[in-house]
Amino acid sequence: MPRRDTILVHGATPFDAATGAVSVPIYQSATFRHPALGASTGFDYSRVDNPTRSELEKTVALLEGGKYGLAFASGMGAISALIKLFRPGDHIVVSEDLYGGTFRLFNEFYAHYGFLFSWVDTSDFSRVTAALRPETKAIFIETPSNPMMKVSDIRLCADLIHQRGGYLLVDNTFLSPYFQNPLAFGADFVVHSGTKYLAGHNDTVAGIIVHSCDAYDEPLRSIQRSEGATLSPFDAWLVIRGIKTLGVRMERQSANARRIAYYLKENPRVEKVFYTGFEDHPQYALSLAQARGHSGMVSFYLKDKADVPVILRNVKVFLFAESLGGVESLVTYPWEQTHNAIPESMRAAAGVTDRLVRLSIGIEDVDDLISDLDAAFSPNSTV
């Protein structure tokens, strides 16, 4: 079995058997001719299955160490499909500090259909235990969390929920399979916004689920083909192409992020920096135990809220835009953007205040990124 860096480049199928093509073909076909009545090439209709999408699904499954992969039109499409494995009346414990769109999906949609959610700080394991109820069927964690970089213990959460026959669902978007494999620590389902590190170029939107539960392969495929929020062949190809450089991008993005985290720590306008690579991060030891790196994500509190618009307006290399994980460095204001859907009191309790800024560090020259921040902090200086 090839090692991770080789799988990244070659994927599940290193070349096209029919033509020798080194890049997986984009099978831009809605339907597939049947050889005879009752016979199939394995592909019938592209909502159900498509060869390009299938190659992506197998590749991400290999990278996560899972048996099955499923690709969706977005990360939200993937998360929504996963929640459909559960039933009204089921209770799910969820990280309180997570992607705002996931909060909205659970709280504004699934809650209305009778699903029960508890929002807790899952980086504090005692709170996870305390939140369990007789009807608890799953724990859904995002680790590291978005945007506060809290780290939850995958193994402890998995053991806890398995004792009652439930499932652990992990959103692994922030670290990607290059740095973290939740299935290896007992998670049952891993979900990705493939839009982020996997695709990596801010050029497409995608979602992936990986798991190894034989009993759930067919139910999940059925949800995927019945709902139809599947990834198109071209978008699947873009994600495959992105994955080829996932390793080199992650190494560069995490090295750049480390420099920027330390730069911010010394910046007098910054009150506090959230970065899992700091030795004084509350879950530093846990990060080292369950992940191989620290991604390119850094959040920080400004001392003065008035600095927020100044920075967002003045950055030139950083782009003021939502999303993360791509080669371009982005700056986001979670309070009004990614986490706007979360009620103010919950945002405040989770630490998402109006002085919080989130950076997704790209692969540019890190000195340009630091000078850009420096200039944005002091827009009136002549440098």
Q: Are strands 330-332 and 356-360 parallel, antiparallel or unpaired?
A: antiparallel
Applying CB under 6 A, which of residues 57, 97, 171, 235 lies at the interface with ligand PLP? Answer: 171
Instruction: Considering only the stretches 84-92, 169-177, 229-237, 289-297, report the one whose residues sit in contact with ligand PLP under the rule CB under 6 A.
Output: 169-177
Q: Closest by alpha carbon to 171, among 38, 325, 310, 23?
A: 325
| Interface map 309-348 toward ligand PLP (x if CB under 6 A) | ---------------x------------------------
Closer CB to ligand PLP, 74 or 107, in the complex:
74
Closer CB to ligand PLP, 54 or 195, in the complex:
195
Instruction: Considering only the stretches 15-23, 63-71, 99-107, 292-300, report the one whose residues sit in contact with ligand PLP under the rule CB under 6 A.
Output: 99-107
Task: Please tell me the number of Cα atoms within 13 Å of 226 on its side-chain side.
Answer: 9
The CA dihedral of 234, 143, 76, 191, to the nearest 10 degrees, is 60
* Residue sitting closest to ligand PLP (CB): 75
Span between the terminal Cα atoms of the chain, in Å: 53
Catalytic annotation present for 196? yes
Annotated active-site residue in 53, 137, 150, 196: 196
List the structure tokens of 368. 């340009």
Q: Closest by alpha carbon to 231, among 8, 27, 19?
A: 27
Applying CB under 6 A, which of residues 61, 76, 158, 270 lies at the interface with ligand PLP? Answer: 76
- The set of residues, in sequence order, having a beta carbon less than 8 Å from that of 209 and lying 6+ positions away, is 69, 70, 72, 78, 81, 82, 189, 190, 191, 192, 220
Question: Measured from the CB of residue 2, what is the shortest distance to ligand PLP in angstroms?
Answer: 28
C-alpha dihedral sign at 163, 80, 113, 102? positive
Distances (CA, A) of 285 to 147, 170, 172, 257: 20, 19, 18, 19
Distances (CA, A) of 339 to 23, 168, 305, 306, 322: 38, 23, 17, 20, 11
CB 173 within 8 A of CB 218: no
Catalytic annotation present for 244? no
Applying CB under 6 A, which of residues 25, 65, 101, 186 lies at the interface with ligand PLP? Answer: 101
Question: Measured from the CB of residue 266, what is the shortest distance to ligand PLP in angstroms?
Answer: 28
142 binds ligand PLP, rule: CB under 6 A: yes
Applying CB under 6 A, which of residues 80, 95, 102, 136 lies at the interface with ligand PLP? Answer: 102
Interface positions, 185-224, toward ligand PLP (CB under 6 A): 193, 195-196, 205, 207
Distances (CA, A) of 153 to 94, 118, 146, 379: 13, 18, 16, 42
Annotated active-site residue in 153, 171, 188, 235: 171
158 binds ligand PLP, rule: CB under 6 A: no
Question: Measured from the CB of residue 319, what is the shortest distance to ligand PLP in angstroms?
Answer: 16
How far is Cα 85 from Cα 78, in angstroms, rounded to an integer?
Answer: 12
Annotated active-site residue in 68, 99, 178, 216: 99
Closer CB to ligand PLP, 102 or 376, in the complex:
102
Q: Closest by alpha carbon to 296, among 250, 264, 337, 339?
A: 250
Catalytic annotation present for 58? no
Closer CB to ligand PLP, 5 or 322, in the complex:
322
Tell me, by CB under 6 A, how many residues bind ligand PLP.
17
Cβ-based neighbour number of residue 84 at 10 Å: 17
CB 339 within 8 A of CB 187: no
Applying CB under 6 A, which of residues 51, 69, 75, 242 lies at the interface with ligand PLP? Answer: 75
Interface positions, 20-39, toward ligand PLP (CB under 6 A): none
Catalytic annotation, residues = 47, 99, 171, 196
Footprint of ligand PLP (CB under 6 A): 74-76, 99, 101-102, 142, 146, 171, 173-174, 193, 195-196, 205, 207, 324
